[in-house]
């Protein structure tokens, strides 16, 4: 239940939308502390959790010398990161090397330490997305070149995917070495909490490809990294819903977040159809409070779903709705 947030309003006043500099980590810790503390008077099913958006994508390419760029989003309180393509051509690939002494790995360790110290007894720290498989190749040569080289230079794509696996594995193992589990489980910005050490995978590159391409190039890297932990979650944007059935059979998959995008019906509006494609795999989706409340009153909610309810007027309204929800029967 997402009600208006003073912490989020303060962030928006200080951080306009757009490109920005690498933030002060102590300020980021203070933001998440204030944001999660505000939510203690909302009695929903969420886990108070901080997300390391600064390391979201840029960390992986940054470790190989990429130019990391940051973007402020006043709507979420995130300062997220990405990188410009690192290689001008594949002849430079063999010069790439990963070191835990790199400044970006030191920044990563510093941020983990700061968040662990501040969050203790207050809020959890969510796993953050892997940049694995073709996502990683995007960071090396860009998306267009990646799709072309799948056909023209498949041997280099395979080499890059192997490098991606090794870097992602080291990054995620470090996360679980430093961030304690909560009651034996992992906090998740998509699925709230899951038992064991759970990673967060992305299959975004296949949203613009056929299912066959996903099977050929996407399944193995995902299942390989899941197998090193206790499984994982993934998310699927609206333009990738043709992948739902195949993605739901990934070995080790625990949940799928169903994203919304302009030009497609919101996941909530077509949820029964989407849920039918994934069998018993739990899903999560976003929905505005008026639509959720109406479906609740009319007993139209789809089971096996975690609902991220937006535009809730206030905490009191949220709690009254939760009282109705706890007595809900299909």
DSSP characters over 217-230: IIHHHHHHHHHTTT
d(CA 319, CA 258): 25
Alpha carbon distance 171, 229 (integer Å)? 13
Q: For 131, phi and psi rounded to 5 degrees?
A: -115, 85
Do 129 and 196 form a contact (C-beta atoms < 8 A)? no
The confidence score (pLDDT) of residue 330 equals: 78
In the chain, what are the domains?
6-326 (3.20.20.210)
Q: What is the pLDDT of residues 106-161, one digit of tens each?
A: 999 999 999 999 999 999 999 999 999 999 999 999 999 999 999 999 999 999 99
In the prediction, which pLDDT does 325 show? Answer: 95
| Residue 10: exposure state from Cβ atoms within 10 A (0-12, 13-18, ≥19) | middle
For position 329, what pLDDT does the model report? 84
- Cα 92 to Cα 99: distance, rounded to the nearest angstrom: 17
At 58-81, the pLDDT tens digits run 999 999 999 999 999 999 999 999
At 65, list the tokens: 């010398």
Against a cut of 0.85, is the pTM above it?
yes
pLDDT of residue 189: 97
Radius of gyration from C-alpha coordinates of the chain: 20
- Residue 234, helix vs strand vs coil: strand
**Quick one: CA dihedral 273, 274, 278, 281, positive or negative?**
negative
Instruction: Report mean pLDDT in 10-residue bins for the chain, 330 residues.
Output: 98 97 97 97 96 96 97 97 96 96 97 98 97 98 98 98 98 98 97 98 97 98 98 98 98 98 97 96 98 96 97 98 92
Is residue 198 within 8 A of residue 231, CB to CB? The reply is yes
Q: Are 42 and 4 in contact (CB under 8 A)?
A: no
**Residue 199 burial (CB count, 10 A):** 30
């Amino acid at each position: 239940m997402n009600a208006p947030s003073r912490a989020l309003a303060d962030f928006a006043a200080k951080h306009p939308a757009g490109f920005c500099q690498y933030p002060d980590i102590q300020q980021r810790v203070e933001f998440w502390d204030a944001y999660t503390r505000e939510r203690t008077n909302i009695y929903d099913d969420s886990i108070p959790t901080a997300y390391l958006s600064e390391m979201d994508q840029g960390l992986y390419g940054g470790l190989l010398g990429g130019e990391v760029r940051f973007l402020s989003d006043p709507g979420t309180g995130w300062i997220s990161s990405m990188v410009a393509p690192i290689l001008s051509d594949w002849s430079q690939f063999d010069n790439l090397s990963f070191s835990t002494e790199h400044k970006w790995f030191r920044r990563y360790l510093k941020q983990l330490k700061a968040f662990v110290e501040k969050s203790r007894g207050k809020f959890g720290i969510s796993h953050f997305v892997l940049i694995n498989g073709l996502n990683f190749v995007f960071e090396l040569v860009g998306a267009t070149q990646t799709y072309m080289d799948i056909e023209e230079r498949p041997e280099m794509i395979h080499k890059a995917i192997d490098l991606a696996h090794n870097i992602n594995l080291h990054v995620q193992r470090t996360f679980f070495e430093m961030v304690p589990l909560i009651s034996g489980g992992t906090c998740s910005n998509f699925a709230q909490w899951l038992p064991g050490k759970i990673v967060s995978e992305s299959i975004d590159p296949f949203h613009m490809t056929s299912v066959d391409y996903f099977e050929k190039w996407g399944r193995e890297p995902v299942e390989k990294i899941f197998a090193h932990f206790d499984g994982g979650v993934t998310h699927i944007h609206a333009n990738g819903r043709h992948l739902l059935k195949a993605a739901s059979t990934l070995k080790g998959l625990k949940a799928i977040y169903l994203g919304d995008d302009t030009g497609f019906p919101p996941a909530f509006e077509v949820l029964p159809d989407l849920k039918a494609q994934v069998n018993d795999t739990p899903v999560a989706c976003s929905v505005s409070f008026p639509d959720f409340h109406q479906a609740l009153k009319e007993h139209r909610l789809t089971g096996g779903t975690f609902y991220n309810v937006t535009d809730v007027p206030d905490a009191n309204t949220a709690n009254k709705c939760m009282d109705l929800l706890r007595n809900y029967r299909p």
